[in-house]
Amino acid sequence: MNAVKVLEDLKRRFPNEFEYHQAVEEVLSTIEEEYNKHPEFDKANLIERLCIPDRVFQFRVTWMDDRGNIRTNMGYRVQHNNAIGPYKGGIRFHSSVNLSILKFLAFEQTFKNSLTTLPMGGGKGGSDFSPRGKSNAEVMRFVQAFMLELWRHIGPETDVPAGDIGVGGREVGYMFGMYKKLTREFTGTLTGKGQEFGGSLIRPEATGYGNIYFLMEMLKNKGTDLKDKVCLVSGSGNVAQYTAEKVLELGGKVVTMSDSDGYIYDPAGIDREKLNYIMELKNLYRGRIREYAEKYGCKYVEGARPWSEKGDIALPSATQNEINGEDAEKLIANGVIAVSEGANMPSTPEAIRVFQDAKILYAPGKAANAGGVSVSGLEMTQNSIKLSWSSEEVDEKLKSIMKNIHESCVKYGTEDDGYVNYVKGANVAGFMKVAKAMMAQGIL
């Protein structure tokens, strides 16, 4: 394979899908060497078959808002690769959603899911519908209309969606209800369900907790831990909240959180009581992070991200490309020793280069945030065997999966000088398993 040529080809065939190009480029540049050790891969044109999704569904979603207006949105499901298990990956509802973003997410999900060691392929879906400012009834009507199209393409052994940005317990619950109504079957087709109807304990916490378990493994290798470390967290949704919770539990201090309008900086630290306030503000009242600054009298910066503040560890947990090269330079200048990604692809290629040149600990999302989909996989297992495990059991399994992923990264990513290139490690480890499965299954 010639990575540059493969990428050029993809760009020509799928122009303007910049996030998709970005995600593919990162993987190709890091697996090229390993790939070329296996001439049989190239003979089977494995790389194109792995970069282009198996199929993409695209549909219009029509729903009625509270004032009686008939509204339309676009809905999508990208089924990227099912070599090692049913397609698996979240659903995103956000005004920015388009095919490029979902293709990048489905592509990354394939490698992430491979890393978890659980039998899950990669997929992603969503809509440009924004739940922001919508009533509960509007969200429900939209979700039901969305599922009216999606249900034909998913199933417990086919494709198992879950949450992502804008899709949490409430939305998964409505999706599950409509799916059940349409199929007249009670199955584990969605994960992230409520505990009363097949959801796994620890699934809401899993992405944030998993990221911190991964971070702890990285820090342990450097002979340190989280005690008294100052953490910069972005986002204030599902991933950010449970990231902050675990940091607090392990003796670290969280000084920032954000939303799409701006960020708060609380040098005293967001303690348990303040975090409870944020959880209520975001999950119940669906308010803005600015209100935290008003309540606790700290700094709020409108229209900015928290990367110019001083901290030891950065935990981006909002969205893609939220740390650019300049932000990365600021973080390094301020003495950051580790960046562990709760979000998917939050660092631009320039930012990644800055982190790796400075030889700090840098964990890409597909390794560090794999805890969420891992517990989704455990939810699928529990649904299959019709049993549910305790929080302790699930948490132990999550810890051990994150430890394994860390070991795989070290195995495949350690460079001659001992620096662990976690990007390379995650990509090569994730790729090899999918590649071997594809080779064994013939030309499809």
- Residues in contact with ligand 2IT by the rule CB under 6 A: 88-90, 109, 112, 162, 164, 191, 344, 372-373, 376
Q: Does 264 bind ligand NDP (CB under 6 A)?
A: no
Instruction: Decide if 124 is catalytic.
Output: yes
If the CB atoms of residues 369 and 421 are measured against ligand NDP, the closer one turns out to be 369
From the candidates 124, 274, 282, 424, give the one annotated as an active-site residue: 124
| Binding span for ligand NDP by CB under 6 A among 21-29, 80-88, 337-345, 386-394 | 337-345
Partner from ligand NDP, ligand 2IT, none contacting 116, C-beta within 5 to 8 A by type: none
**In DSSP terms, which residues pair with 161 in a beta bridge?**
89
State in angstroms the smallest separation of the CB of 238 from ligand NDP: 4
State yes or no: residue 161 binds ligand NDP (CB under 6 A): no
User: Nearer to ligand NDP by C-beta: 182 or 277?
Assistant: 277
Alpha carbon distances (Å) from 352 to 31, 39, 163, 323, 367? 16, 30, 26, 9, 15
Q: Which residue, among 308, 412, 333, has the nearest Cα to 367 in the 3D structure?
A: 412
Residue 369 binds to ligand NDP (criterion: CB under 6 A): yes
DSSP codes, 152-202? GG-BTTTEEEE-BTTB-HHHHHHHHHHHHHHHT-----SSS--GGGTPPTT
Contact characters 218-257, ligand NDP, x per CB under 6 A:
-----------------xxxxxx-----------------
Which DSSP string do the residues of 253-319 spell out, in sequence order?
EEEEEEETTEEEE-TT---HHHHHHHHHHHHTS---THHHHHHHT-EEEET--GGGS--SEEE--S-
Give the sign of the dihedral formed by CA 271, CA 272, CA 278, CA 281.
Answer: negative
CB atoms within 10 A of CB 373: 28
| Near ligand NDP by CB under 6 A: residue from 114, 144, 191, 317 | 317
Q: Is 113 in the site for ligand NDP (CB under 6 A)?
A: no
Compute the chain's Rg from CA coordinates.
21
Query: Which option in ligand NDP, ligand 2IT, none does residue 236 bind, with CB closer than 5 to 8 A by kind?
Result: ligand NDP
At its nearest, how many Å lie between ligand NDP and the CB of residue 236?
4
Work out whether 114 is an interface residue with ligand NDP (CB under 6 A). no
Distances (CA, A) of 68 to 62, 138, 141: 12, 10, 12
HSE-up of 336 (CA within 13 Å, CB side)? 30
DSSP SS3 for 323: strand
Separation CA 155–CA 261 (nearest Å):
37
Cβ proximity to ligand NDP: between 292 and 431 the closer is 292
User: Is residue 281 a contact partner of residue 292, using CB atoms and an 8 Å limit?
Assistant: yes
The residue among 311, 289, 305, 310 whose CA lies nearest residue 347 is 305
Residue 362: CB atoms within 10 A of its CB come to 25
The C-alpha atoms of residue 66 and residue 141 are separated, in whole angstroms, by 10
Binding partner of 312, given ligand NDP, ligand 2IT, none, CB within 5-8 angstroms per partner class: none
Q: Which of 189, 256, 319, 382 binds ligand NDP (CB under 6 A)?
A: 319
| CA-based nearest residue to 402, from 433, 366, 436 | 366
Residue 122, token pair as written in the block: 């990669």
Does 89 bind ligand NDP (CB under 6 A)? Our answer is no
Instruction: Select the residue interacting with ligand NDP from 165, 202, 351, 380 (CB under 6 A).
Output: 165
Q: How far is the CB of 410 from ligand NDP (least distance, A)?
A: 21
Q: Considering the complex, state which of residue 96 and residue 388 has its C-beta at the smaller distance from ligand NDP.
A: 96
342 binds, among ligand NDP, ligand 2IT, none (CB under 5 to 8 A by kind): ligand NDP
Candidates 125, 163, 198, 413; binder of ligand NDP (CB under 6 A) is: 163
Residue whose CB is less far from ligand NDP, 125 or 168: 168
Which parts of this chain interact with ligand NDP (CB under 6 A)? 94, 96, 163-166, 168, 207, 235-240, 259-261, 317-319, 342-344, 369, 372
Please give the positions annotated as active site.
124
